[in-house]
């Protein structure tokens, strides 16, 4: 359940290869190909507007996403990174709703504690109306954070089914020299319908890469 996923995971592979009315210099969004490596604020808003106001194209985009590289859906997305900060510092970034929201680019309302349900709203330009819930399952200070959230969002992605399916996110920390080894696993994909499940896996695989980069920069600052 991550807006950054579509923006980062598929923009190069789909939009920068697309054409508009046979013009290879323009993408389907109207933004010239190759201009997305460092998008301006106005380009980000234009891209978000494209996603939100043209649902039929979003549906087509999901189908293309499934076909990229003939990928096979795994049961999980896994990311590992060494962070230039102590486990104590990284844990603050995970356990404080304020800090979590800063690196995750979201407004997070609620208390970070086991059993709590937190309300989240995207802070990405042009996508501020997007909302989701995340439920905290486990909190082990400086070691482990686990939460669940919806696998699908049919309001944003027309190809997603109406479903109560959930994905589980587990982040574990371990001291690693003068830093911290972070491992993230988002699991539960094997229980999803194959077609829509693969689309979610594709966009979350790329989205988590962006979020890992976000937390790395946040704790190193």
Query: Sign of torsion, CA 139 140 141 143?
Result: negative
184-208 CB burial, b ≥16 within 10 A, e <16:
bbbebbeebeeebbbbbbbbbbbbb
Report which DSSP code applies to 174.
E
Cα-based distances in Å from 43 to 31, 192, 203: 7, 33, 20
Q: Residue 172, class by beta-carbon neighbours within 10 Å (0-12 exposed, 13-18 middle, 19+ buried)?
A: middle
Q: Among 44-58, 103-117, 174-188, which is the least confidently predicted range?
A: 44-58
Collapsed DSSP state (helix, strand, coil) of residue 38: coil
Total-model pTM: 0.69
Percent of the chain with pLDDT over 70: 67
Cβ 3 vs Cβ 130: under 8 Å = yes
Domain 76-107+134-220: CATH superfamily, name plus number: START domain (3.30.530.20)
Q: Region 24-48: what's the mean pLDDT?
A: 44
Q: Region 8-36: what's the mean pLDDT?
A: 37
The stretches of 12-162 forming alpha helices (DSSP H) are 41-53, 55-67, 87-95, 97-104
Each residue's pLDDT tens digit, 127-159: 788 899 999 999 999 999 999 999 998 888 888
């Amino acid at each position: 359940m991550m807006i950054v996923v579509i923006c980062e995971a598929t923009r190069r592979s789909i939009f920068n290869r697309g054409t508009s009315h046979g013009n290879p210099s323009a993408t389907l969004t109207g933004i010239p190909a190759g201009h997305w490596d460092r998008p301006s604020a106005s380009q980000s808003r234009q891209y978000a507007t494209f996603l939100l106001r043209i649902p039929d194209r979003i549906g087509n985009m999901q189908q293309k996403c499934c076909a990229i590289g003939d990928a096979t859906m795994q049961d999980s997305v896994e990311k590992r990174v060494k962070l230039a900060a102590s486990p104590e510092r990284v844990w603050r970034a995970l356990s404080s709703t304020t800090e979590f929201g800063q690196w995750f680019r979201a407004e997070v309302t609620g208390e970070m504690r086991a059993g709590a349900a937190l309300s989240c709203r995207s802070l990405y330009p042009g996508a501020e109306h997007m909302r989701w819930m995340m439920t905290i399952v486990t909190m082990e200070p400086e070691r482990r954070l686990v939460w669940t959230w919806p696998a699908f969002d049919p309001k944003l992605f027309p190809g997603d089914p109406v479903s109560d399916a959930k994905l589980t996110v587990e982040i574990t920390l371990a001291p690693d020299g003068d830093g911290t080894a972070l491992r993230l696993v988002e699991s539960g994909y094997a229980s999803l319908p194959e077609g829509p499940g693969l689309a979610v896996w594709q966009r979350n695989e790329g989205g988590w890469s962006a979020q890992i980069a976000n937390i790395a920069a946040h704790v190193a600052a």
